[in-house]
Chains A and B, each alone.
Chain A
Amino acid sequence: MSGKGIHIEGLKKRYGEGDTAVHALKGVDMQVAPGEVVGLIGPSGSGKSTLLKCLGAVIDPTAGRMVLGDEVIFDNDWKVHDLQALRRDKIGFVFQAPYLIPFLDVTDNVALLPMLAGIPNSKARAKALELLTALDIQHRARAMPSQLSGGEQQRVAIARGLVNRPPVILADEPTAPLDSERAMAVIRILNDMARQFETAIIVVTHDEKIIPTFKRIYHIRDGVAHEETGEGRGFE
């Protein structure tokens, strides 16, 4: 865990070459501090998902610099060799749908990441239970994903994103399938977790209900991120 969150400078992503090249990101600058939850908004095709994929080390940026905690992970090229390990250990993901592994129970869904990192099963499960308790869903620890409500599934997904204590969590429209009450609950949890674990959280959203909760918002337009100050209600 780091005290520096994530820092992005001049991040560019170009699809294709020559005349047909599409410049999805035209030099994005972004800074998210530990414990901070920022919103990432923008119309369809503005480059939100491309930015998220670059941050998630799923696609290769064309140019720019990314610093995760104290580590420069990209400087016009990847500076880490094992991107799978980077995603596993340094980046947490929360998706629009929870995408829990249907054949693993709640505990093992959360414990899977530490297990993949080589942590013994019992220790990984203990970490998972600790997080499930923090998210107040420990009573469903042995349940299968199909037995959970949408809100419960999303909380488990958040626990999975947090379990390896990554410096950054990328949340892709985490409230989309939820009603207002549950959506607000999820954002509240993300804020709590960000503070508790000093994690920088970037939330991509279209959800008008939750946009006012962000203190800072990055509005992406035509591949460029514009920082805006949100209404800043937050969840203090």
Chain B
Amino acid sequence: MISLAGRDILHSWGKFVFTGVGLGLLIGVTLSMAGIYRGMVDDAQVMLDNTVADLWVVQQDTQGPYAESSSLYDDLYRSLLNMPGVEYAANVTYLIMQVGHGEQDVSAMVVGVTAGTPGTPGQPQYLVAGRHITRSHYEVVADISSGFKLGERIRIRRNFYTVVGLSKRTVSYNGDPMVFIPLKDAQEAQFLKDNDALVQQRRRNAENPDFNRPGIPDLIAVVNASQSTNTYVNAILVKLKPGTLPEDAAEPIRRWMRLQVYTRIQMESILIDKVIDKSARQIALFLVILSIVSAAIVAFIIYTLTLGKIREIAVLKLIGTKNRTIAGMIMQQSLALGVIGFVVGKITATFWVPIFPKYVLLEPLDSVAGFFAVLAICALASLVAIRMALKVDPAEAIGG
């Protein structure tokens, strides 16, 4: 038996191809949306991977440092080094900031890391150019997606920094490039006030009788000094000794140091289930809407194509064509349209993904799932046209 659907497609291939291209662009958008979600998850995982930490030690009763703010004293890491199973502990700060680059600002996650300790948790693990931070001040290692060049001077708050190294795929969970600076600079940048604010703060301190006591003239100077220094970090990243189970090391820290400790799995859960959850659901809803729109478009196209063949269908039925042959023809055409659309969509998505400002990850398995989803949608969408075709009265082919 010849393929009636195939012959019809070959006969009016232009109509099918152009319709398929239109549908394909829609499928391309749908695949890209799925890719954006995957990219967000991958960004979060890459951020965690890049820390090479086994444990995240944060302020008690917080879900820091990514989902909530967290403050720890910067000398706590020394105590952690003495806890069982801990091989290394490193202070880290995370600041979402606008980094000045020439006349432009670049949205970045500024990470404060201990200078001169490459390879430890929190540091960029691999550089694509330059060197790691060796000085305690005014050096930067930046992700290549920031657009910074080696040797360039960038501005963070009031201070200028020199780019000494470039890393790759070191991004925050929302895709911003990471900019690594010395920890001391990061601590300072976190609460750095402008001169006017400092003057105001000192005036207020001087007017406060608790700070400016006549009998203790040095107290005001101490208070002023304490308010202009920052001894806090957001988290301490812990690397465990080989063979140590994360939970075994985390439990004594929770119990004895009264700190919140998260393992890699828990931190990933916080990021994906809480931090990017709303964005993910937004994208999921958008995917559902796009799928419905695609289904409606395919249904409309197939319905219209079938409507144009009512007389032929009546003739086919009159001369004894089985209903399932006619239904098969319509469904095959719908599926063919889906296949053309998917191929076009996949190709266009592959081409336009690199120009997206955020990382878009097109997973092969998502494409496979997408392909079957497209086929299912097309099969479903053809039901309306099939129903109409099966209702066609063969008597319509006979006059009168």
By a beta-carbon cutoff of 8 Å, the part of chain A in contact with chain B is 48-50, 52-53, 56, 58-59, 84-89, 93, 95-96, 99, 101-104, 108, 112-113, 115-118, 121, 144, 160, 172-173
B residues less than 8 Å from A89 (CB atoms): 320
| Pairwise interchain contact A93-B318, C-beta atoms closer than 8 A | yes
| Pairwise interchain contact A99-B311, C-beta atoms closer than 8 A | yes
| Pairwise interchain contact A58-B321, C-beta atoms closer than 8 A | no
CB distance from B8 to the nearest CB of A (A): 4
Kindly state whether residue B11 has any CB partner on chain A within 8 Å.
yes
| Pairwise interchain contact A99-B399, C-beta atoms closer than 8 A | no
| Pairwise interchain contact B10-A93, C-beta atoms closer than 8 A | no
- Return 12 A-B CB contacts under 8 Å, by A number: A49-B399, A52-B400, A58-B393, A84-B322, A87-B318, A88-B320, A96-B399, A99-B311, A99-B397, A101-B316, A103-B7, A117-B320
| Pairwise interchain contact A88-B319, C-beta atoms closer than 8 A | yes
**Given A48-B400, A160-B319, A103–B11 Cβ distance below 8 Å?**
yes
Q: List 3 A-B pairs, minimum CB-CB distance, nearest first.
A: A88-B320, A49-B400, A103-B11
Kindly state whether residue B394 has any CB partner on chain A within 8 Å.
yes
Of the candidates A53, A101, A121, which one forms a contact with B398 in the assembled complex, judged by CB atoms under 8 Å apart?
Answer: A53
A residues less than 8 Å from B319 (CB atoms): 87-88, 93, 112-113, 116, 160
CB distance from A22 to the nearest CB of B (A): 14
B residues 370-400 with Cβ under 8 Å of A? Answer: 393-395, 397-400
| Pairwise interchain contact B398-A87, C-beta atoms closer than 8 A | no
Interface of B is mostly: helix
* Residue in B closest to A48 when the chains form the complex, CB atoms: B400
Kindly state whether residue B12 has any CB partner on chain A within 8 Å.
yes
| Pairwise interchain contact B2-A115, C-beta atoms closer than 8 A | yes
Kindly state whether residue B206 has any CB partner on chain A within 8 Å.
no
Kindly state whether residue B197 has any CB partner on chain A within 8 Å.
no
A residues less than 8 Å from B76 (CB atoms): none
How many chain B residues touch A (CB < 8 A): the figure is 27
| Pairwise interchain contact B398-A52, C-beta atoms closer than 8 A | yes
| Pairwise interchain contact B315-A87, C-beta atoms closer than 8 A | no
* Residue in A closest to B395 when the chains form the complex, CB atoms: A58
A residues less than 8 Å from B1 (CB atoms): 115-116, 118, 121
Complex Cα distance, B315 from A114, in Å, reads 15
| Pairwise interchain contact A103-B8, C-beta atoms closer than 8 A | yes
| Pairwise interchain contact B11-A102, C-beta atoms closer than 8 A | yes
Complex Cα distance, B395 from A58, in Å, reads 6
**Given A103-B7, A108-B2, A53–B315 Cβ distance below 8 Å?**
no
Complex Cα distance, B1 from A102, in Å, reads 17
Given contacts A53-B398, A101-B312, A144-B11, 19 further A-B contacts (CB under 8 A): A53-B400, A59-B395, A84-B322, A87-B320, A88-B319, A88-B320, A88-B321, A89-B320, A93-B318, A93-B398, A95-B315, A95-B397, A96-B399, A99-B312, A101-B316, A102-B11, A103-B10, A116-B325, A172-B399
CB distance from B184 to the nearest CB of A (A): 77
B residues 331-361 with Cβ under 8 Å of A? Answer: none
B residues less than 8 Å from A52 (CB atoms): 398, 400
Of the candidates B7, B311, B397, which one forms a contact with A104 in the assembled complex, judged by CB atoms under 8 Å apart?
Answer: B7
| Pairwise interchain contact B12-A53, C-beta atoms closer than 8 A | no
CB distance from A169 to the nearest CB of B (A): 12
CB distance from B5 to the nearest CB of A (A): 9
Of the candidates B312, B317, B318, B399, which one forms a contact with A102 in the assembled complex, judged by CB atoms under 8 Å apart?
Answer: B312
| Pairwise interchain contact B315-A101, C-beta atoms closer than 8 A | yes
A residues less than 8 Å from B395 (CB atoms): 53, 58-59
CB distance from A82 to the nearest CB of B (A): 9
| Pairwise interchain contact B322-A116, C-beta atoms closer than 8 A | yes
Among B2, B8, B317, B319, which residue has the most Cβ atoms of chain A within 10 A?
A: B319
